[in-house]
Amino acid sequence: MTSTASIAADFTARPTRGSVVRFVNSHTLPLLLAAVFIASAISTPDFATFANIRAILINTSIVGIIAVSMTAITISGNFFSLGIASSTVLAGIVFLAVSGLTGSALAGLGAAVAVSVTLGIMQGLIVGAGLNPVITTLAVGSVIYGLVAIATKGAVVTAGSVDVAWLATWNFLEIPLPVYIFVLFTAVAWFLTEHTLIGRNIHLLGANRATARNSGISPQATTIWAFIAFGVGLGVAGALNASQLHQMQANDLAGLTMDVIAAVLVGGTAVSGGEGSPTRSALGALLIVALGNIMLLHGLDNGWRVFLVGGIVVVLVVALHVLRKVSTR
């Protein structure tokens, strides 16, 4: 009797440590985000205004869409892409050029997504065969950058007289379209990764490649799907960004790659694969952009922003790693 009680007590007591860890693990980011917003609303007079929050959301939408779409790659155990900036610039330039030719921004958007998805499939084929994803995307990214620079001769590309700005400025309740697209994107990505077969395959592939293969999941096909999702995100984000700026050139968006990777890492998606979710990457992107905004309001320059983002990435990556180690012990 006593022994069963003690065993039962032991059994019920055991997961407590795990659940504390799980609580911290899954709530760190929302809590951190809330703390940052509350602290800055109190300390920074211009922060909690509608115009400023709107600006944060608009800026988050581009980084966020890409971060959300890259999450599938990270969960599948393929780390991250180091070719984000040049791929996004390519999508933006395709969007502007095709919009300018056809006179329709929607045709431009379709072309941008088609080009990005094609490039995604190509990289997915290479990475799916077993090549290192970081090196592959870095090499492909530099090839894309070189080709874009040659094709545009380094000049600024515009859509001519065609109106492409409506894609970025059309608004509902004072909130412009990119923000809604970002929210929709996050919702769809969440549904796809959590509630569909392909999403589960992506999780399993990242958690344990050998087991995934033994249970009949094709690593190649799964990796290609992840890269297709990434391609859609890059295409949409590139088109939206080009429509915000009305123009694009090869050297644009230099800091984007690091912002997106930071958003995914801060979101807490395990880079070893198997764990994570697009919604967390979306929150990670929001945190990164909000921090940049606060720095700007306090008159601190880009250096502080990059330094702080780097610091948060390092600290959170280490903290989450230690937490996971504790919870699996």
Partner 1 sequence: MNAAKEFFLKYSLQIVVLLLVVGIMVMVSPGFRGEAALFSSLERLIPLGVIAAGLAVTMIAGEFDLSVASMAAFAGAIAVQLGGLGLIASILIATVVGVLLGSLQGWVIARLGISSLVFTVGTLILLRGATWLATDGVPVTLTDYKLSDALMVRIWVFTPLSLTTIAVLAVLGIFLSRTRWGREISSIGGARQEAVASGVKLRSRLVLAFAISGGCGALAGALSSFRGGSATPDGLANMLLLALAAVLIGGVSLTGGRGGMINVAFGIAITAVLAAGMSSIGVKAFVTELFTGVLLLVVILLEFAISKAVAYRASLQRRRPHLAVA
Would you tell me which residues interact with partner 1 (CB under 8 A)? 79-80, 126, 129-132, 134-136, 138-143, 145-147, 149-150, 154, 250, 254, 258, 261-262, 265, 271-272, 301-311, 313-314, 317-318, 321-322, 325
Shortest distance, position 311 Cβ to partner 1, whole Å: 6
Show the beta-strand stretches assigned E in the chain: 157-158, 171-172, 175-176, 247-248
**Radius of gyration for the chain, computed over Cα atoms and rounded to the nearest angstrom:** 21
CA dist 59 → 179, 202, 228, 240 (Å): 9, 29, 24, 11
For partner 1, the closer of residues 136 and 279 by Cβ is 136
Shortest distance, position 135 Cβ to partner 1, whole Å: 6
Shortest distance, position 145 Cβ to partner 1, whole Å: 7
Asked if 120 and 242 touch (Cβ cutoff 8 Å), the reply is no
Asked if 323 and 25 touch (Cβ cutoff 8 Å), the reply is yes
Shortest distance, position 123 Cβ to partner 1, whole Å: 10
For partner 1, the closer of residues 66 and 265 by Cβ is 265
Shortest distance, position 2 Cβ to partner 1, whole Å: 40
For partner 1, the closer of residues 74 and 201 by Cβ is 74
For partner 1, the closer of residues 113 and 271 by Cβ is 271
3-state secondary structure 8-71: HHHHHHHHHHHHHHHHHHHHHHHHHHHHHHHHHHHHCCCCCCHHHHHHHHHHHHHHHHHHHHHH
For partner 1, the closer of residues 178 and 275 by Cβ is 275
Shortest distance, position 142 Cβ to partner 1, whole Å: 4
For partner 1, the closer of residues 79 and 225 by Cβ is 79
Shortest distance, position 36 Cβ to partner 1, whole Å: 18
Rounded to the nearest 5°, which phi and psi values hold at 94?
Answer: -60, -45
For partner 1, the closer of residues 109 and 289 by Cβ is 289
- Exposed / middle / buried, residue 51 (Cβ in 10 Å: 0-12, 13-18, 19+): exposed
Shortest distance, position 148 Cβ to partner 1, whole Å: 9
CA distance 285 to 201: 25
Instruction: Say whether 269 sits in a helix, a strand or coil.
Output: coil
For partner 1, the closer of residues 84 and 162 by Cβ is 84
- Exposed / middle / buried, residue 24 (Cβ in 10 Å: 0-12, 13-18, 19+): middle
